[in-house]
Amino acid sequence: MPSGLIALLDDVAGIAKLTATSLDDVAAAAGKAGSKAAGVVIDDTAVTPRYVMGLTPDRELPIIWKIARGSLRNKLLFLLPAALLLSAFAPWLLPPLLMAGGAFLCFEAAEKLLEAVQGGHDPAEEALATHSSAELEQQKVSGAIRTDFILSGEIMAIALGTVATEPLWEQAVILTVVAILITAGVYGVVGLIVKMDDIGLHLAEKSSATARTVGRGLVHAMPVLMKILSVVGTAAMLWVGGGLIVHGLHEFHWDLIPGAIHSVAESAAHALPAAGSVIEWVVNAIGSGIIGLIIGGIIVAILHLFKKH
């Protein structure tokens, strides 16, 4: 009897150890998948604050909460099942889908650059002039959730590409973890960004000179931060989108462009061995960004040509 109990406890310990190892693997894979999607996450964080422009401060956080719930619904109810079905029945579709998503990101970035060069109207001011506050809020929430669906689709596809060789149940767990953590992270940061000026105004009214200085600094930093986020977001879209296309070309054994970028990156790394891995990463990112800009520019030019006709 005791030996049977000992054997049972030994089996339980073995199962617990195996479970702990599996959880560690899942956590590591989730972290890797999330980091691969970082470029899209940066753009998502940069894009979302624009959806609360023109609204009263007391409605900013409720609107972000609505968008966050819509984002999580996009990921868990629609994109996660679609990703698992794709992985189970048509994994060969993943590379071309990632390339198509990458091309869309490149197009979005190129369109932003074109708008920045040409200058344009302020959509927030136009919406305020033509809609009531309730209509404007609904319009902004709906628009943000639609945009999020595309960005979330890219995040889930990139994450799936990272864990495509794992068992299906692990893919489901990892993608769920990535979906929840990225949504919480993105919209938590967005909430902090959009309330930064309010926090600054609150601190500026304090009696402490240090608090007032910090408060004024936050208020003045807000426009600069939004510009930086916009630039970083656009660069991230070009880098990620171009990278997806370059990786897809490699998957299809069209190695002229991937090989050239890799060769230049290796040469640069050998020239500066002290920072070789960093240099190689930077050169690869720049190469992917250039490809992204070219692809995005071509798509924008074609679409604008069709619009004229």
Position 143 scores a pLDDT of: 77
Q: Is the pLDDT of residue 224 over 80?
A: yes
Residue-wise pLDDT for 81-107, tens only, equals: 999 998 889 988 888 988 888 898 899
Separation between Cα atoms, residue 175 and residue 83, nearest integer Å: 9
* Residue 73 half-sphere exposure toward CB, CA atoms < 13 A: 8
Report percent pLDDT > 90 for the chain: 21
Answer whether residue 43 is part of any domain. Answer: yes
* Alpha-helix residue ranges (DSSP H) falling in the chain: 2-36, 38-47, 57-73, 80-89, 94-118, 123-130, 133-163, 168-194, 196-204, 209-251, 256-271, 276-308
State pLDDT tens for residues 1-37.
455 544 544 444 444 444 344 445 555 555 555 555 5
User: What span, in angstroms and rounded, lies between the C-alpha atoms of 88 and 94?
Assistant: 11
**Can you tell me the mean pLDDT for 67-79?**
92
Q: Is residue 299 part of a domain?
A: no
Mean pLDDT taken over the chain: 79
In this structure, is residue 50 part of a structural domain?
yes
Q: Does residue 155 sit within a domain?
A: yes
Q: Would residue 107 count as lying in a domain?
A: yes
Task: Report the C-alpha gap between 237 and 253 in whole angstroms.
Answer: 24
Q: Is residue 34 part of a domain?
A: yes
Single pTM value for the model: 0.72
Would 230 be classed as within a structural domain? no
* Listed ranges 123-137, 219-233, 273-287; the one with the highest mean pLDDT: 273-287
Whether 204 shows a pLDDT value over 80: the answer reads yes
Identify the pLDDT of residue 289: 94
pLDDT in tens, 248-275: 999 899 999 999 999 999 999 888 888 8
**Mean pLDDT throughout 143-164?**
79
The answer to the question of residue 200 being in a domain is: yes
Total structural domains within the chain? 1
Coil, strand or helix: which one is 202? helix
- Structural domain of 194: 2-222
Average pLDDT of the residues in 154-173: 81
Are 296 and 234 in contact by the 8 Å Cβ rule? The answer is: no
Q: How confident is the model at residue 24, as a pLDDT? A: 54
Query: What pLDDT is recorded for position 153?
Result: 82
Predicted local distance difference test score (pLDDT) of residue 184: 87
Per-residue pLDDT at 309? 64
Q: For the chain, how many residues are written?
A: 309
